[in-house]
C-alpha cells in the first residue's frame, strides 16, 4: 500500500485502527459512505490526481481503493 494512502486512512479513521489492504472501510474501520468519498477527495489532493467518480462507486475495501488510485497515479 502506498504510504500516502495509509497516511490518509490513518488520519481519517485513526492510527489505532489496524489498517491493512484487507480492511473494509465500513465494516472494519467504522466509516460510512461519506467517509469513503472524503478519503478519495483527500487522496486526490495529496497525490495531485483526479479519479472519475464512477470508478469510486461501491469501493469499500482498502485493496480496491489502492487499485484504483494506483491506476491513476500511473496514468496521470
Partner 1 sequence: MILGAGGGFMYVKHLQSENEILTLNNAKLNDAVEQQQAVIEQQLRDIETKTEINKQLSENNAKLTADLNLANEKFNKVNASGERRDVGALAVAKPKSIERIEGKREQQRARCFEIAQGSPLTEEELNATKKSQINAECTSIANPNYVPY
Which residues are near partner 1 by CB under 8 A?
A: 10-15, 24, 26-27, 30, 32-35, 37-38, 40-41, 53-54, 56-57, 60
Cα dihedral 3, 33, 11, 17, rounded to 10, equals -90
Closest contact distance (angstroms) between CB of 34 and partner 1 is 6
Closest contact distance (angstroms) between CB of 2 and partner 1 is 18
For the record, the C-alpha cell of 16 comes out as 489505532
Query: What residues have CB less than 8 Å from 62, skipping those under 6 apart?
Result: 1, 5, 9, 19, 20, 21, 22, 23, 24, 25
Q: Which is nearer to partner 1, 18 or 53 (CB)?
A: 53
Closest contact distance (angstroms) between CB of 73 and partner 1 is 19
Amino acid at each position: 500500500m502506498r504510504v500516502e494512502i495509509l497516511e490518509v486512512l490513518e488520519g481519517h479513521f485513526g492510527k489505532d485502527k489496524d489498517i491493512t489492504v484487507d480492511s473494509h472501510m465500513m465494516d472494519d474501520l467504522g466509516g460510512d459512505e461519506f467517509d469513503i468519498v472524503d478519503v478519495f477527495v483527500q487522496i486526490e489532493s495529496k497525490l495531485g490526481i483526479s479519479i472519475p467518480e464512477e470508478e469510486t462507486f461501491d469501493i469499500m475495501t482498502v485493496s480496491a481503493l489502492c487499485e484504483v488510485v494506483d491506476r491513476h497515479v500511473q496514468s496521470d
